[in-house]
Structure 1
Amino acid sequence: MKTYKEFIAWQKAMAFVTDVYKTTLNFPKEELFGLTSQIRRAAVSIPSNFAEGFGRKGNNEFIRYIRISISSLYECQTQLEISNNIGYLNSSDFKLLYEQTKEIEALLRGLEKNLLNKLST
């Protein structure tokens, strides 16, 4: 791959960020600097860290940043659960966003495994 933009994981993460921003527009205005900001920052961190890791030297660094992306993804999943629990997300929006995170996680884990295999050969 010549650029991080060619990775399906990055593309899906970017689509997820867009969906998070659109969905959180409906959150209460008093949450703008609370949960809305938190969930948006966590979502943005997923493709951002992926891109940063791709730009680093070597697979070890890329793996490290993929793991950071996964951590941000887990943070986002938690914030989605909180948003659902307190009624900021309806069940269909929650399910859609949560399923996106599971797909991104699978793609990131697969890439991580592939890179680890390359390092061990």
Structure 2
Amino acid sequence: MTTAVSSHKDLIVWQKSVTLSIAIYKLTEGFPQREVYALSSQLRRCAVSIPSNISEGKARRSRKDFTHFLAIAYGSASEMETQLLIAATLGYCSQNEYEQVNSLLSEVSKMLRAMIEKLETRG
């Protein structure tokens, strides 16, 4: 038996992306002060963009709009992947921190991609 998803809050991908956002905020707290308006800010904007676009797309109530906003969220996740790698390479976080956040990011990205593909094949 399948349960209907009535709210973006019911979507596991939204829940995980909120967890990812919180993890990014905590991670960037330890970045150098000089990065406050640079890499920290970029990572935080991407992090907030993912669940925000999922919720906005879900609220639009059309498959086409939902798919479009999921694609934007997926783009933000891809952007975050690059920024996270740069931060780790610069030594702004430990390897363990990087791997934990990147693992969650990878999970969210895969879920978004699967949702997009499913919605696109439905027409």
**Aligned-residue RMSD, C-alpha:** 0.9
Correspondent of 2:13 among 5, 9, 18: 9
Rounded Cα–Cα distance in structure 2 between residues aligned with 1:70 and 1:11: 15
Q: Deviations over 1:75-95 (max 9, x none)?
A: 101100000111101101111
Taking the TM superposition and a 5 Å limit, the aligned residue runs for 1:20-99 are 20-99=24-103
The total of aligned residue pairs comes to 119
> Letter of the aligned partner of 2:46 in structure 1?
A
Q: Which residue of 2 aligns with 1:102?
A: 106
TM-score w.r.t. the length of structure 2 is 0.93
Post-superposition offset of 1:113: 2.0
Q: Which residue of 2 aligns with 1:116?
A: 120
Rounded Cα–Cα distance in structure 2 between residues aligned with 1:110 and 1:5: 18
Q: Deviations over 1:9-45 (max 9, x none)?
A: 0000000000000111100112111111110001110
Unaligned 5+ segments in structure 2 are none
Q: Percent identity?
A: 34
